[in-house]
Amino acid sequence: MANDFCFLLSNGLFISDKGHSKENINFSPCCIYKEQSTNIDNSWQNINAWTQNCDRCFIKEKSNKQSRRQEINKEFSYVKDAELSYLEIDHNNACNAACGMCSSMNSSSIAQILRKEGKNFVPVPTVKQKEVFQVINNLDLSKIKVIKFRGGEPFYSNFHQKVLDKVEFPSNATLMYQTNGSIYPNVSWWDKANKFKEIHMSFSIDGVGEKYNYIRSNLNFEAIKENIIKILQNKQVNFSVSIECTLNPLNAYYFDDIFKFTQELKKYNKNITLNWHQCWGEWGLENTPPNLRELITKKYKNMNLCKVINDFDFDESKFISFVLSLQQHEKRFNLDTMKAFPEVYPLIIEYYNSLT
């Protein structure tokens, strides 16, 4: 039977070559489960209570926020048997973007830049595509309900199309893609996608115009916008789309621009949603300085974003690292941070100067 504590423990599989071992394929029941194994571990389905591996869902629920566990349990409550229903694939770092908050682990473009500069960088995946495909080829996909592709940029290669060919009953399955939207799918993909029950694309949009171009270097906002509109206008398949915004100290103040952009897209297809997530790491939202937190709170008032930002403890050393990272990003891509973020960057520099 399907696990009634968490559906994914019995019916989910996350395959990645970016986990604890970069030389091996790593497995877990979902993408936010902490512990990874180099083998598919069927003992997951026997877990029926909270463990430290499930901290991210536990913390959300403790804060009265809906967790992934709750969302998935509700969505797949009709599935009663323990069978592979939800497959998530996070293979290689091939990507045409060099986003400021990303790393070589998820972007081959960043790895190439760091290699050229002679700098150390996070080890990149070394597992070959054929090894990952061999694992997938041995899976029983006859009862699959969802296949999700992450990246890198999944449309940067044709690996995902080979996986689609292995789905025995595509009309029962939903395809999900986490994409930057820079590559319009080819004809072959559309032919295959048309056989599936539904397609959901999550587009990573962290700003509008020059702000987007700054954060997601190597990409162009107007080209991305054109691709998204073309996809929204395509009537071949049953489509749903979400705009996924990762908020950091630079772009949080401009969230309303992304909201307006999402509303504009609804004239092409009403089935579109906007979600925001906090950025972690050097560009983490927690590195928003106090003076900028005040400005954001004044603008958005009771919006949950304000509560999230103000609940963070402020670490001066991490903030300094963030500013140094911005300066490096600006120099690397010949950008103008002040021009791109005129209301925000002066406050960041003002607070930085007060500390140094």
Q: Give the pLDDT of residue 270.
A: 85
Please give the C-alpha separations between residue 67 and each of 7, 56, 204, 239, 251, in angstroms, as whole numbers: 13, 8, 21, 24, 25
Domain membership of residue 313 (yes or no) is no
Distance CA 107, CA 122 (A): 11
Domain membership of residue 246 (yes or no) is no
Burial label for 307, CB within 10 Å (0-12, 13-18, 19+), is exposed
Domain membership of residue 316 (yes or no) is no
Which residue, 149, 164, 10, is CA-closest to 72?
Answer: 10
Distance CA 10, CA 1 (A): 8
Tell me the pTM: 0.92
How many other CB atoms are found less than 10 A from the CB of residue 160? Answer: 20
Which segments of the chain have a pLDDT < 70? 19-23, 125
Range of the domain at 48: 7-204
Q: Give the pLDDT of residue 254.
A: 98
Q: Give the pLDDT of residue 13.
A: 97
Strands 239-247 and 272-278: parallel
Domain membership of residue 286 (yes or no) is no
Distance CA 220, CA 323 (A): 24
Q: Give the pLDDT of residue 19.
A: 60
Enclosing H/E stretch for 7: helix 7-11
Distance CA 331, CA 327 (A): 6
Q: Give the pLDDT of residue 224.
A: 97
Q: Give the pLDDT of residue 20.
A: 54
Domain membership of residue 128 (yes or no) is yes
Domain membership of residue 26 (yes or no) is yes
**Residue appearing with tokens 């509109």:** 229
Which tokens belong to 201?
């694309």
167-210 pLDDT tens trace: 999 999 999 999 999 999 999 999 999 999 999 999 999 999 99
Please give the C-alpha separations between residue 154 and each of 216, 261, 298, 352, in angstroms, as whole numbers: 16, 24, 39, 38
Number of domains in the chain: 1
Q: Give the pLDDT of residue 98.
A: 96
Domain membership of residue 142 (yes or no) is yes
Domain membership of residue 211 (yes or no) is no
